[in-house]
Each structure stands twice: as C-alpha cells, then as structure tokens.
Amino acid sequence: MLDIECAAAGLPKDAPALMERVARSVCRLEGVDGAGAYVRVVDDETIRAVNAAQRGLDRATDVLSFPTVDFRGGTARDNAALIRREYDPDTGLCFLGDIIISIDRAREQADEYGHSLARELGYLTAHAMLHLCGYDHMTDGDRAKMRAMEDRVMADVSLPREGGSLTDGELFERACAMLDMAYAPYSKFRVGACLLTEDGRVFTGCNVENASLGVTICAERTAAVKAVSEGATKFAAIAIAGESGVAWPCGICRQFLREFGPRMRVIVGKKGGKPETAALDELLPHSFGPEDLLK
C-alpha cells in the first residue's frame, strides 16, 4: 500500500504502521482496493526546496501531495471505471501518487495540538491521501467535505479529533456540505446534518427519500444511525442545514435523538443564512427516555 522512505531523523517506530492503517482506511472508504502511494518523510529544508521548485513557494509546509490520477467531476469513489484503467497488471496496484511530509512541521503541530507525533503523521497521511483521491479545499464546500472525510478516516482508525471539538459554525458548515449528497427526488427539499458525539467524533448524514414515502429517513437519523453503528451513543450537538429553507427536526427525529443526548445542542439554519441554536429538551419538553422504563 504505502512505500515509506524516511529521509529525516526522528520517525517514531509506530508511525509507519499507523500511516499504513490510515492509507488503507482512505482507500477502503473511497472504494479503491489495492491502491498504492509513495511517501517520503523529510525535514523542513527539503520540503521548502520542493515547494520552491514545484510551486514557486519559498517556505516549508507540513505536507505535499502529487496525484497521478485526475479524478474529474468528483473523487475516487465517483470514478470506478477510471480506477480500473489505472491498475498496473504487473503489480496489481493502482498507483495514486507521491506524498512528502515534513517531520519538523509535524512535530511542531503535534506539540501545538497536544497529541503524539505519530498521530500527527497519521493525520497528515489522511489529508495527503484524500488529495490523491481527488479531494481539495479551495472552496468552502470542498473544504467542508474534505474535513468531514478526514474526521471519518481518523475515527475509522480509532484516532478521533483531539484538543477540542468543532465549533457550532464548523458543524453547520459540514451539514451544508452534505446537501449535495441528499436523495430527495420527491420533495426536492434537501437536508444535511452533522452530528458531534461527546467523545469528539463527527458523523454526517443527509435525507434519503423513497417511493414508499413512509420509508424515507431524515438527515438527522442518518447521521445518528451512523454514529451508533460506530459505537457512539452519547451525543453533544447536531447541526441541520436546509437547502431551500430552515429544517427543524421532525417529531420522530427529536425522539430518536433524545435517546442519546437529551440536552444536546441543535443548530438549525438555511444554507447561506445564520443558524439558530436550541437545546433538545426545549424542542421536546416532558420527554420520554430510557430512564422512564426503569421506573
């Protein structure tokens, strides 16, 4: 999967295995089985020289990605046919590109955020691999999608965000990014959601309609079911974004969320507008929960 070359001192012994796990998670989530990439871990001076030569930028950065596959109109998961054409029959691999990571910058950022150097190298690997799979952060929407995917990968390898939770504004931004994923051919009312658990993990969701309308699932429950399926049963907040209007959670969603976060924050707004915030127990007063079954 990863061919890792360390051209700088200080690479932790556990870092290569973690970086490999992260890369495999990205490829699995993007549907690119058997993909490979070359990773070179260098010092600040080396990555500064590469930046100057390749980008005309005379400074060190934490990571650089050089994709070999152009995923036009989406990411790797949207280009299955293109991926099949990129497989090398001799190696059985789809080579995605090259990654350069500055261990000096990684060490500085690990100290700043209060986590291990290995974890920071794992995060930078996730960021770089997502670039190789077609993700970018040039626009607000692209940035939100990439950040949501980074969180998903890090949670998948049991390394959720450390050093504090996302702000309500960031949660709402990621909820807005999910509007593009909504399946709403009948109502045309797209909704996106972003759920924050008490342990700092983030799960996104969108509404998914069905020709049998009663089978439709709301964005809030999509995100909540994803969270519970990953072992998260204590919710701190959820942001809900409507494309054409404000989408406060329906009664079923309020009861569903109450099971896992009776006093969680609910952030609701229309894309492009300023969201409002309320506590779930304000939206569902005198509610019924697990503790009532014990009475």
| 209 in active site | no
User: Given the DSSP bridges, would you call strands 235-242 and 191-197 parallel, antiparallel or unpaired?
Assistant: antiparallel
User: Given the DSSP bridges, would you call strands 265-270 and 235-242 parallel, antiparallel or unpaired?
Assistant: parallel
Contact 84, 70 (CB under 8 A): no
Helix axes 251-258, 219-229, angle to 10 degrees: 20
Dist. CA 190–CA 204, nearest whole Å:
14
Nearest to 129 by CA among 261, 18, 36, 62: 36
Sign of CA dihedral 268, 184, 149, 234: positive
Measured between alpha carbons, how far is residue 106 from residues 63, 186, 198 in Å? 9, 48, 27
Phi, psi of 261 (to 5 degrees): -165, 75
Which one of the listed residues 30, 150, 173, 220 is annotated catalytic?
Answer: 220
Measured between alpha carbons, how far is residue 286 from residues 68, 108, 152, 255, 262 in Å? 57, 49, 34, 11, 11
Measured between alpha carbons, how far is residue 205 from residues 16, 154, 220, 221, 245 in Å? 32, 17, 7, 8, 17
Helix (H) or strand (E) holding 239: strand 235-242
* 3-class secondary-structure state, position 154: helix
Tell me the catalytic residues: 220
